[in-house]
Structure 1
Amino acid sequence: MKAIETKYNGYFFRSRTEARWAVFFDTIGYKWQYEDEGYSLNNGRWYLPDFKLFLPNDKIFYAEVKPLNFDKHENRDDIIDFRIFSKSINHPIIILTGQPEFMAYDVILPTFNIPTEHHNEHTISLGMFQDYEPYIQIADEYWWQYVVMDENTGIHYLNIDERQARKSFGKRYLEAIQSSKSIRF
């Protein structure tokens, strides 16, 4: 099924899901560029990131929007491309599955800096949005206790209620999720 092209803020997005993420970024206060520049990867493939995010702390993340049923194992070539791109530009990529929700999203870091026997260069980390420093929180041991994985889809949900989300991620985070869900295009 083909996604519905959607106009928001002067941009034509390939899908409503991408447009909803743009609403989320605007509401939470992140600056962004949409499909700004394509890249030739060293594996001979081309890659066009969906979003380039400029966080309020001057850090840059790239964001790739995928449908809720995106399977990392079936789409291994995409994951390899994301890794190559992240490493070559030295910025992380957050994989946004579905519409904005209380979720932990897969993050590919250019270098994985946890030197343990359980993590290697193929490890994907998790990140959560928040409206204060560091703006995208990479999951550590504390946050893993709140992550629940759907065994059928591999999606990581946060086992928290709205009050906990407001305390943990900020009021603007909740407003951004609500705005992205309620907007009519």
Structure 2
Amino acid sequence: MIEYDNHSFNSEIEARWAVYFKTAGITYEYISERDENVVNKLYTQFWLPQVRMFAAIKEKVFTQKDINRLKEINENSGYPCLLLIGFPDFCSYFATDGFDYILTNFHNYVLDEKRFYCCTEYDSNSHFPLPNKIPTEIERNNYDLIKPVTEATLLKL
């Protein structure tokens, strides 16, 4: 177990995403395997209430079975699920709604519009569900992205 922000995370990757969300100012609720009443606990690790999305995390890749189950959760709940692969990075991440998102408060989307910035135009060669690397010129100009990625990467847990 890894302790961070008054939670006991099951893995380092979950804890690093919690660091990312907190640093980015994105409210999160951790869905622990110990939570008895959570239907989606085996497939999702976070609920992001500001943007009304679940988030599922895998170290390397989601299987088609994983994706089908997460799409089913999306259909049953009405809320899409982000497919977060690996540690937080300078990427946009796909969700079960088929769009990819930059997970920051870019242009106050999270606070004002209750959504993440959708950015499907960055990489025309992308393949769902793999993350899209964000071009360097956008990284350098987006403090809302640089700070949480750096903090999630460097913080000693």
Aligned partners of 1:127 and 1:139 also within 8 Å: yes
Match of 2:38 in 1: 38
Residue 49 (structure 1) aligned to one of 30, 44, 53: 44
User: C-alpha displacement at 1:136, in angstroms?
Assistant: 1.6
Deviation digits for residues 62-86 of structure 1 (CA, Å, limit 9, x no counterpart) = 100111x21x4xx222111101111
Match of 1:116 in 2: none
Aligned partners of 1:52 and 1:62 also within 8 Å: yes
Aligned partners of 2:90 and 2:145 also within 8 Å: no
Match of 2:119 in 1: 139
CA distance in 2, matches of 1:19, 1:156: 19
User: C-alpha displacement at 1:92, in angstroms?
Assistant: 1.1
Residue 160 (structure 1) aligned to one of 122, 131, 135: 135
The alignment yields a C-alpha RMSD, in angstroms, of 2.5
Match of 2:67 in 1: 79
Instruction: Give the 3-state SS of the residue equivalent to 1:133 in structure 2.
Output: helix
Q: Which has the higher contact order (CA 8 A, sep 6+)?
A: 2
From the two aligned structures, give the one with the greater helix fraction.
Answer: 2
Instruction: Give the 3-state SS of the residue equivalent to 2:109 in structure 1.
Output: coil
CA distance in 2, matches of 1:26, 1:159: 21
CA distance in 2, matches of 1:180, 1:147: 28
Q: Segments of 4+ in structure 1 off by > 6 A?
A: none
| Number of residues of Structure 1 aligned to a counterpart in Structure 2 | 147
Q: TM-score, normalising length from structure 1?
A: 0.69
Ranges in structure 2 where 5+ consecutive residues have no aligned partner: none
Aligned partners of 2:52 and 2:79 also within 8 Å: yes
Aligned partners of 2:85 and 2:131 also within 8 Å: no
CA distance in 1, matches of 2:125, 2:102: 13
CA distance in 1, matches of 2:134, 2:20: 21
From the two aligned structures, give the one with the greater strand fraction.
Answer: 1
CA distance in 2, matches of 1:88, 1:12: 28
Match of 1:176 in 2: 148
Aligned partners of 1:166 and 1:174 also within 8 Å: yes
Deviation digits for residues 16-40 of structure 1 (CA, Å, limit 9, x no counterpart) = 1110000000000011110165217
Q: Which amino acid in structure 2 is aligned with residue 180 of structure 1?
A: A
User: C-alpha displacement at 1:159, in angstroms?
Assistant: 4.5
Written as runs of structure 1 = structure 2, the 5 A alignment for 1:59-138 is 59-67=51-59, 69-70=60-61, 72=62, 75-109=63-97, 124-131=98-105, 132-134=108-110, 135-138=115-118
User: C-alpha displacement at 1:165, in angstroms?
Assistant: 2.2
Deviation digits for residues 109-145 of structure 1 (CA, Å, limit 9, x no counterpart) = 2xxxxxxxxxxxxxx33222122215522334xx24x
Ranges in structure 1 where 5+ consecutive residues have no aligned partner: 41-45, 110-123
Aligned partners of 2:43 and 2:66 also within 8 Å: no
Identity %: 18
Instruction: Give the 3-state SS of the residue equivalent to 2:135 in structure 1.
Output: coil
